[in-house]
Chain A
Amino acid sequence: MSSIDQATSSAAPSAAAPSDATALPILNEDWLSVAIGLAIFGLALGTLAGPDLLGWAVSTSVWTDPGTALGTVSKAYSGLGGFSAFVITYLVLLAVLTGGVALLKANPVRFALAFTAVFWIAYASWVIGSNAYLAAVTPADLQKFGIDWSLKLTNEGGFLVALIAGLVIANVFPAFAERIKEAIRPELYVKIAIVILGGFLAVNAAGKLSLATSVLWRGTAAIVEAYLIYWSVVYFVARKWFGFTREYAVPLASGISICGVAAAIATGGAIRARPAVAVLVSSLVVVFAVVEVLVLPFLAQQFLSHEPLVAAAWIGLAIKTDGAAVAGGGITESLILAKNAAEGVVYQPGWILGTTATVKVFIDIFIGIWAFILGWIWTHHIDARPDGERARPIEIWHRFPKFILGFIVTFGIGLALALAAPAAVTAKLPAAVGEANTFRVIFFILTFFSIGVLSNFRKLWAEGIGKLAAVYVVTLFGFVIWVGLLISWLFFAGVTPPLAG
């Protein structure tokens, strides 16, 4: 079952329940991401009390000699060697995720086999992306590695390599893509990453509470922009200019305006659209997100490097789907930090990614409320049936993205520890959160690869998606991107991350 199929089932709570109650999964993907994310964050915090429980995880350095590419995240485990760390990381994630998807009633054996291929290919892409010819940025780096040129993608260019690897598999080896689809779960991977990200952002925010509060406040503009401005314009264009029916226009407007897959499926369900329509729109959203991730971070680096938080908010508003947006924020951060570093301005890392994530999370929070509002309008005014079921307020909770609760918990714990713990503990906090962050990066890599594998352009074209894509092109490139840039500018211009050190 693809991630989009899973989203369909989890975002449509009012759909008829299966008659066999035993077939229901024990938990859904949202709660699973909360459990895994919190477990990783909790284990990482073990370092504060003494034992280093996650230091064995694999990390990658920029390399010219492949033998030096891999290592352990903690020096305490350096004796393991890089390749052993990689294998241990793979085995631990395999065990945890296989157990998790078994609770989702997926086939654990099929998942384990597919995940093995996904993890090895995705991580290999990451290692390739860390090659000095792709990743080295500053003249000092070039000198250090003894090379005279580099694409300067930073080591997070590995995300793009993983995305391209996924695209190649989807479009050149579709049979293989079909065989590994059980482990192609971008929504699960990115939700785990976002839960972990909360703690990392909190530790950054604690040092600059005033700036963090300002970013949170300015992030509220994204909610207004996505739901009230983007949605209404895209819906009107789809209905009036392209002549789409309401069943197509609602998920399309939600997919382009709000948050891709989850919003298209939740609002499609709310107006009783057929699931196939929402799934089709979701596929389109993923494809456009791929194109945006490949293009927008480089435009941001080129034109917005002196307004880093404008770039961050813009990426969060323009790129749909959580995975692509937050990971796109990561790439944007690397590119912009690298460009500024080359000019002698060294910003503290985490703020650009944090702003993109804040914008995205704020938008996500209101998906349930928007779906309820649309459901209420449809069941009372547009598709009112005499004996019909009406939209109920409890659906707001059903459609609330639960992984955001995990994000809030890790953010709260991280902030409390950074502000209130004894100095001996806070001194260890960045290293502890750094270990959790290593897993955040791994889940981002899996997200990028999975998004690529879901993007089979030929299949989408064969489904006659061209006219839907035309709405996307017209509204995204003619309206959403520019309005997003203007509003990001109005709210974030002149606000810069703190300088490092």
Chain B
Amino acid sequence: MSETDLKSEIQTPVHEPLLPIEKKLVAWSLGSGLVLLTILILLTRVSWGG
């Protein structure tokens, strides 16, 4: 693969629609991340009072 190939791929990428599984991955990651962070913050407050 030449540099020219990469350059044209970056500038005009092939259209790949977001699949349901990708949407699910993004949503679950974000959702579980926010829930876990909330739990960690609460546990930190309880344990160290900070």
Contacts and interface: CB of A to CB of B under 8 A. Distances in A.
Contact of B50 (A381, A465, A495): A495
B7 A228 contact: no
A143 interface: no
Interface in A83-115: none
A229 B29 contact: yes
Contact of A231 (B3, B15, B21, B29): B29
Contacts of A495: 50
Given A229-B37, A240-B18, 14 more contacts: A214-B50, A220-B40, A228-B30, A229-B29, A229-B33, A233-B30, A245-B9, A246-B22, A381-B19, A381-B21, A382-B22, A463-B3, A467-B10, A491-B50
A218 interface: yes
A224 B36 CA distance: 7
Interface string B36-50: 110011001001101
Contact of A221 (B6, B22, B37, B48): B37
Contacts of B25: 232, 235, 377
Contacts of B9: 245, 248
A468 B13 CA distance: 11
25 contacts: A217-B44, A221-B40, A224-B37, A228-B32, A228-B33, A228-B36, A229-B29, A231-B29, A232-B30, A239-B16, A239-B18, A243-B15, A245-B16, A277-B6, A280-B6, A381-B19, A382-B19, A464-B3, A464-B6, A464-B8, A464-B11, A465-B10, A490-B41, A493-B50, A494-B50
Interface of A: 214, 217-218, 220-221, 224-225, 227-229, 231-233, 235-236, 239-240, 243-246, 248, 274, 276-277, 280, 377, 381-382, 462-465, 467-468, 487, 490-491, 493-495
Contact of A276 (B6, B22, B37): B6
Contacts of B10: 244, 248, 464-465, 467-468
Given A214-B48, A233-B30, A382-B19, A225 B37 contact: yes
A277 B13 CA distance: 13
B21 to A, nearest CB: 5
Interface of B: 1, 3, 6-11, 13-16, 18-19, 21-22, 25-27, 29-30, 32-34, 36-37, 40-41, 44, 47-48, 50
The binding surface of chain B is classed by DSSP as helix
Given A248-B13, A487-B37, A274 B1 contact: yes
B30 to A, nearest CB: 5
A243 B33 CA distance: 25
Contacts of B19: 381-382
Given A239-B22, A246-B22, A229 B6 contact: no
B13 A243 contact: yes
B8 to A, nearest CB: 8
Q: What 7 A-B pairs are tightest by C-beta distance, nearest first? A: A228-B33, A464-B7, A232-B29, A229-B33, A232-B26, A381-B21, A232-B30
Nearest to A276: B1
Nearest to B48: A214
B38 to A, nearest CB: 10
Given A217-B47, A243-B13, A467-B11, A377 B21 contact: yes
Given A232-B33, A493-B50, A246 B16 contact: yes
Contacts of B22: 235, 239, 246, 382
B13 A244 contact: yes
A225 B13 contact: no
